[in-house]
Each structure stands twice: as structure tokens, then as C-alpha cells.
A and B are shown apart, each in its own frame.
Chain A
Amino acid sequence: MTHVLTRSPRRRPTVIVACTILAIWIASALFAGWLSPFSPSAQLPRSKFIGPGADHLFGTDGFGRDVLSRVIAGARPVLTIAPLAVLIATIVGATLGLLTGYFGGFTDGIATRILQAIAILPPLFPAVLAVALLGRSTTVLVVVLAFAFTPIITWTVRAATLVEREKQFVEAARLRGEGTAYILGREILPNISNSIVVESTVRLADAVFAIATLAFIGLGAAPGSPDWGAQVADNRVNLQFAWWTVLFPAVAVASLVIAVSLLADVIRERRPE
């Protein structure tokens, strides 16, 4: 698997580390029930704030809940919301980017301006506004993150399309009398698919980052959902005497974003000549 992803042998350790971390979290998201030693919400009143040890590898929190089980449970929400949001943003962004890049002109000018106006704000801002105003739910998160990432993806695809549309095979297809849909889908899209893949992977890391941050500031998915960011925020007050309740979910977030970013980096460098 590793040699498919990278031609340079020096990068192989990076790929192995990134794929292992990713595999662990995907497994946690899929088989949380089997993997976790306890139920993530089970409260054991007589074992509050137990340090990491044989019974509880990652210790327990203030309600006597097993931290390891809660960390495992936290993989599912983030690995559902982030890929969905990025998938929507990629489909919408690639379509918009292809159309505006290929046709140019007046519509392109207007679309570019509107996208610029959205993209000028930090991606987290629309998310904070929407989640606070519309309420906390998985659907709101998916839609608002897709909205926040669409302009950036449109931008990249538009730039790549601008380059491709000048090439001779596009000209040839046009002279053959092919329709616009054929030219965009069969001639241009395959040639820019690599930049779309790179862009989506980078946005996937961004989405995980944003979801964790939103959960941390209290604007995550529905209240009570075992998000890593929310676990860090809830246990922040216990930092003085129970560091393990904060450390493990925090490391979980970082490891997932780092793994996805490393993969994005490797895919970017792999770009065929």
C-alpha cells in the first residue's frame, strides 16, 4: 500500500505512521462497541478520577467514566461529519470551478467576487454564527462546513481549469463538435483530478480541525455527543489534579489532523510529471 502512495523511499516512514493512525481512528469509528472496554457513558460512582492504570488505561473522569472508551467513542462523530462536509464542498466547488473557469466572462466575474467576499472571513466565523443561531446539530455542522470550504475548492478548481482550457486537446474536442458537458467531464476533469484530490485531502484536515475547535468552544454537534473537543473543554477545570482527562482526547484530535495533513502532503508531492 505504501509504495502506491509514494515513489520516494524517504517518505515511506511518514506514510506508514499516517496510515496507521488513520486506520486506528477509522477502526474506532466503525467498531467502537467492540473495542472499548466500557460504555463511554457508564458512570462508576466509586471510581472517580482514577489515574491511568491497569483497570483504566487512560484513567477515569469526574463522573467515573472510562476515558479510553470516551476517546474511542469520539472518533465516530468527527469521522462522519468531516468527510461528508468535504464531499459536499468538493462536488459543489468542483462544479462551480469547472463552469466559471471554462466559461469565464461576466458570470465568472460575479461568482469570483461573491466567493471572495465569503472567503475573506476566517472559515470558523460562518460556522460560529450558524451553529450558535441555528442550534447544535450534525446536519448544521455538515452544511455550514461545506459552505465554508466551497469557495476555496472552487478557487483551486477554477485555476486548474483556466490552464487546461487553453490546451489543444480541448480545442480539438471543440472542433469535433463535442458538447460542453463532454468537454468538461471527459477532457478537463480527468486532467485536474489530481489537484482536486490534493485540495480535498487538505480540506479534510481543516474540517477535522474546525469540528474539534467548534466542539471545544461549545458549538459542536448535539450536546452530550462524545466529541474530543468537548471532552477537553469539559475537563479543563480538572486540569490541576486529573491531567489524563484532558491529555488523551487532546492528543486524539491532534493525531487525526496530523495524520490527514501528512497524507495530503505526500499526495501533493507525488504529482505525476
Chain B
Amino acid sequence: MGRLLARRIGGLAITLALTSMVVFAMTSVIPGDVARRILGREASQEAVNAKQAELGLDRPLIEQYRSWLSGFVRGDWGTSFTKGESVRSLVLTHLAHSLTLGLIAFAVLVPVALGLGLLAGLRNGTRTDRTITVLSLCGTATPEFVSGVLLLIVFSVRLDWLPSSARDEYGFRGLVLPVICLVIVCVGYVTRMVRASVIATLDRPYIRTARLKGITTRSLVRRHVLRNSLVVPITALGVQLRYLIGGLIAVEFLFNFAGIGSLLLEAAQEKDVPTLQAATLVTGVVIMLTFMLTDSVYMWLDPRVRVGAET
């Protein structure tokens, strides 16, 4: 297993290096003069040139990329053009906020998806199954801002139960609606995967054996079916994560939440290049690490994968 992990890490490192090139290339095509944007319209040409030299923008692109990447690896992520703060603390604070939100959403998502998927899989082909399948598809297909706005109309405007913003002063109550938004958009895919795994498990010979032995349905589900499906949400997370993080941009914007999504959006609108680069690359790193984590957990939980991959 150790050699397998080492090979995996090597592959991830190559992909990350390429991702950093993609990020740098995308942020370097910006038209317009970054130095002039910092100094303002009235600045003299000499001052602009000096600033450009200071930021290293007069050097060749390869050179710029090298110094940016080596700075990034050493933990020097530069200074925000617009805020004047250290990009590292800016990005890491916002990232921590978003991770909290994401983890709460995942904690809610797992039991809901397991329950719905189990129900649909056990009642395969019935009306209950069809209803759950269609509804979960609808949830996946509804953009976060749409479900968010509908939730706001009902729970914040009509009923006045929950705040319409997730700013710090509202504490935990402010997080309820954003979490529901994220769960709605992700629960469909995970439910379908659980359902598929339940149906596949029910087809196995050992289920028939257990049934013939006279096991009750309740313990059949608990001991044989559910146990096999527990791993599904973890692997599904790997697939869903990119969409979950993409969705954070809209959710954080809608609920005024200071996370990595709103930081990225703000930096993009203000053309704050160092923040943009760091926020994008750090998101890539987080996604990579989660892939690795879900892979390892999967291998740990399911010995068959471990043996199969080793040979």
C-alpha cells in the first residue's frame, strides 16, 4: 500500500505543477497595465515603470512564473494589489471559513443521501423509488442561487425564522440556509450512487443465502446492505467536490459569506492578480488532497481495492 500511495503522490505532484502553469497562464493574459491600476490614473510614466520593475512585470513570462511558483512553495504568496494585505493570510482565513461550511454540509449530506438512497434501492421500481430519483435529479439540476432565493423567500421573508445573511454576527443560524443550498445540489448524485450500490448488493448470492436462513429484513439491511453502501458517499465526495466548491461562489455571494468563493469573485472583479492566483491554486491543492484522502479511506475500508490495485 505504501508504494501505491507513493506513486499516487508522484502523479498528483505532476498534475499540480501543470495546474499551477494553467493558473498562471490564465491570469497572465490580463489586458491592461497592472502597475497603472495600482498607482492610479495620475501617476507619471516613470513611477509606473518603477512599479512594474518592482513587481517584476518587465521580466519574461517564464522568469515570472518561476519566481511566483518558488515564492508560493516557500509560503510567500505576495501582497494583495487592492487590499495591501498579505495574500497568504487573506486566502487561508477565507479558505477556513469555506471549509467549515463545506464540512457542515457534508455532515448533513451523508445521512440524508444514505437514507434516501437506501429507501429508493430497497423499493426499486416502485413509485417511491421513481419519486426519489426524479426529485433528486431536480435538486442536482437547480442552481444554488435559485434554491437559495426560494429558501430565502420562504424562511427569511415569509416566516422570518432565519437571517438572510451568513455574516459573523448571525453565528450558526446564518449558516442554516447556505448549508441547505449546498446539500440540495449535492444530495441527488450521492443518493443515486447509494441506490445503485444497494440494488447491486441485493443481487448478490450471499443476500439470498441470508434470506433463506430466515434473517429479518431489518437486520439484512443493517448488516449486509447498509454496510456495503457506507463507503459510497465518501467516493462520491471526490466526484462532487469540484461542483461543491464551484457552487460556493454563488452561495457565498448570495448570503454575504466571507469564504474562498467570494474572495475569488472579488479578486476577479478588481483584477487583483496575486490573490486570484493564490486562491485558484490553493483550491486546486485542496481538491487534490481531498481526492487523495477519499482514495485512501476507500482503500482502507475496502480491502478488495487494495489488493486489486497492488497487483
Contacts and interface: CB of A to CB of B under 8 A. Distances in A.
A122 B243 contact: yes
A213 B250 contact: yes
Main secondary structure of the interface of B (DSSP, over half): helix
B225 interface: no
Contacts of B246: 122-125
A205 interface: yes
B140 A239 contact: no
Interface string B280-295: 1001100110000000
B250 A217 contact: yes
Contacts of A251: 146
B292 to A, nearest CB: 12
Interface in A105-138: 113-114, 116-118, 120-126, 128-134
Nearest to B139: A258
B15 A240 contact: no
Interface residues of A, number: 48
Nearest to A218: B269
B50 interface: no
Contacts of A188: none
Nearest to B291: A120
Contacts of B30: 133
Given A216-B253, A217-B250, A258-B142, A239 B152 contact: yes
Which of the four size classes fits the interface of chain B?
35 or more
Interface stretch (A34-42, A155-163, A242-250): A242-250
Given A126-B26, A132-B269, A239-B157, A257 B19 contact: no
Contact of A257 (B15, B142, B250, B280): B142
A258 B141 contact: yes
Contact of B245 (A122, A129, A239, A246): A122
B149 interface: yes
Given A117-B15, A239-B157, A217 B253 contact: yes
Nearest to B287: A120
B149 A117 contact: no
B39 to A, nearest CB: 19
A253 interface: yes
B268 interface: yes
Contact of B146 (A123, A131, A232): A232
Interface stretch (B80-88, B130-138, B201-209, B210-218): B130-138
Interface of B: 14-16, 18-19, 21-23, 26-27, 29-31, 130, 134, 137-138, 140-147, 149-150, 152-153, 156-157, 164, 242-243, 245-246, 249-250, 253-254, 264-265, 268-269, 271, 276, 280, 283-284, 287-288
16 contacts: A120-B287, A122-B243, A124-B249, A128-B249, A131-B268, A133-B27, A212-B146, A216-B254, A217-B250, A229-B145, A232-B146, A232-B149, A239-B152, A243-B153, A254-B138, A254-B147
